[in-house]
Amino acid sequence: MSAGALALFTRDLRVRDNPVLTAAHREGATVLPLFVLDDAILAGCPPNRAYFLVAALRELDDELREIGGRLVVRRGDVVEEVARVAAETSAAVVHIAADVSAYSRARERRLRERLAADGRELRVHPASLTVVAPGEILPSDRDHFAVFTPYHRRWLEADRRPALRAPRELRLPRIAAGSLPAPDDLTAEPPSPGLSVGGETTARKMLRDWLAGAVAEYSRTGDDLAADATSHLSPYLHFGCLSPGELVRRVDDGTEFVRQLAWRDFHHQVLAARPGAAWHDYRDRAIRWRTDAQAVTAWTEGRTGFPIVDAGMRQLREQGWMHNRARLITASFLAKSLRVDWRVGARHFRYWLVDADMANNQLNWQWVAGTGNDTRPNRVLNPLRQAERYDPDGAYVRRWVPELAGIEGRAVHRPWRLDSVDYPAPIIEVPGM
Ligand code: FAD
């Protein structure tokens, strides 16, 4: 009989369409589903992601129990814990999803070396966290695509791996499961009041509703701030509660929604090739950033005097999430209008966003700041024009900025023109005031 296998979950917290779990199940006499609460990651884990993670682990454990398994949890140094558990259960092979950040690449290298020293193997599964694995499609002259449109064309034609069902039944080796963490074990701070609940079970309900309804209208309503009609699936994709491969299989290729998922893969393949782009300019444009602590505080607190910017920044704190159009407006305001370094904004977003993702957050910030993959790096999103176009009646502003809730229509976007309104004065001037 073959030896046991260990399925090491990282940010692929699901049983369906999971190459790691499926391979461990197919190849091992027993399967050990393991999650390590990695001290190196948790040391800086903000409350929203900590709460979401705890809920996602709980739902993963429930899903595993449905098929005869359970989630084994350890805490400490991920490499040491995996090596210890693999030895304890005589697992010959450890399966893990390929990932792209510098940290995850180093983790993979360390794990491979440590396991090899014990006579064990690490098997890395590509296309677990993305639809198309980073590096699988390449232009003729370099190691990644720097421009989205040609990438998207090739992405649509690329081979995709077949769908994988959840294993029917798991056989676990004998081992103490360890207890699932509570939020307090990971953070002392409270989460955003409107934070979504993590997990595969929750994600599947959301997916069902999404596919049955709003996805059909996405190309028309995706940018409408007040309609709030995007999928809200980003945290579930970030933690892998949903497989991006499954999502694209269930939606037509030509749709705007699938194009957004291609953007997600695009940023992953950029970061895989340039891990340093997480904190260094992807393209050096010799921008001289301004230091302005007061303006940054006004921006983070949603008190810039521009209601559309303030609404986005307040949604971020209230929900741990922000509409994509608001992310574009608020990021452009900081990096282009205030000319503050994109890293300042990216750090703030990383603290609050439950979907905060090295590839998507950092490279979207660079895209907006003009140091990244935008082919028009000098574009500036004027907050007033953006407000008129994407929140024409002001309903998004009224939802998130209660001080302005009594002002009707688009007048809400220029409170400085109204006598009776007590609202912070705009911190800068922009065209069209
Ligand atoms: P939908 O509109 O329903 O799109 C479906 C999925 O496509 C999303 O869940 C997401 O996985 C992917 N997607 C959509 N737009 C993008 C995009 N521009 N780039 C990459 N993937 C995309 N997304 C994150 O997942 N994590 C982040 O940390 C993040 N930070 C961002 C920072 C800035 C400054 C900007 C401008 C965008 C950022 N985005 C990030 C991209 C995008 O705003 C979110 O993915 C989206 O708003 C999530 O909402 P949704 O799930 O309803 O998206």
Tell me the domain boundaries of the chain. 4-125, 129-161+200-273, 293-417
- Give the chain's mean pLDDT: 96
This prediction has a pTM of 0.97
Non-local (6+) Cβ contacts of 228 within 8 A are 323, 396
Q: Which residues of 373-409 are buried (b: 16+ CB within 10 A; e: fewer)?
A: bbeebeeebbbbebbeebbeebebbbbbbeebeebee
Task: Give 307-343 pLDDT, tens digit per residue.
Answer: 999 999 999 999 999 999 999 999 999 999 999 999 9
Architecture of domain 4-125: 3-Layer(aba) Sandwich (3.40)
CATH of the domain spanning 129-161+200-273: 1.25.40.80
Please choose from 336, 364, 374 the residue to mutate so as to test ligand 1's pocket, defined by most ligand atoms within 8 A of CB.
364
The reply to whether ligand 1 has any atom less than 6 angstroms from the CB of 133 is no
What are the backbone angles phi and psi of residue 234, rounded to the nearest 5°? -55, -40
Please choose from 221, 267, 324, 351 the residue to mutate so as to test ligand 1's pocket, defined by most ligand atoms within 8 A of CB.
324
Task: Give 265-296 pLDDT, tens digit per residue.
Answer: 999 999 999 999 999 999 999 999 999 999 99
Residue 383, pLDDT above cutoff 50: yes
Residue 2, pLDDT above cutoff 80: no
> 293-417: what fold?
DNA Cyclobutane Dipyrimidine Photolyase, subunit A; domain 3 (1.10.579)
The reply to whether ligand 1 has any atom less than 6 angstroms from the CB of 360 is yes
pLDDT, position 264? 98
What mean pLDDT comes out for the span 166-188? 94
The reply to whether ligand 1 has any atom less than 6 angstroms from the CB of 353 is yes
Q: How far apart are CA 38 and CA 78, in angstroms?
A: 5
Using CA atoms, how far residue 39 sits from 76, 275, 334, 378, in Å, is 5, 21, 32, 40
Task: Give 341-372 pLDDT, tens digit per residue.
Answer: 999 999 999 999 999 999 999 999 999 999 99
Using CA atoms, how far residue 418 sits from 390, 408, 415, 425, 427, in Å, is 22, 12, 5, 11, 17
Residue 412, pLDDT above cutoff 60: yes
- Going from the Cα of 19 to the center of ligand 1, the distance in angstroms, rounded, reads 24
Q: How far apart are CA 206 and CA 281, in angstroms?
A: 36
Task: Give 214-271 pLDDT, tens digit per residue.
Answer: 998 999 999 999 999 999 999 999 999 999 999 999 998 889 999 999 999 999 999 9
pLDDT, position 1? 46
Q: Is 44 exposed, middle or buried (0-12, 13-18, 19+ CB in 10 A)?
A: exposed
Non-local (6+) Cβ contacts of 125 within 8 A are 19, 20, 23, 95, 96, 97, 98
By the 8 A CB rule, do 125 and 99 touch? no
Residue 27, pLDDT above cutoff 80: yes
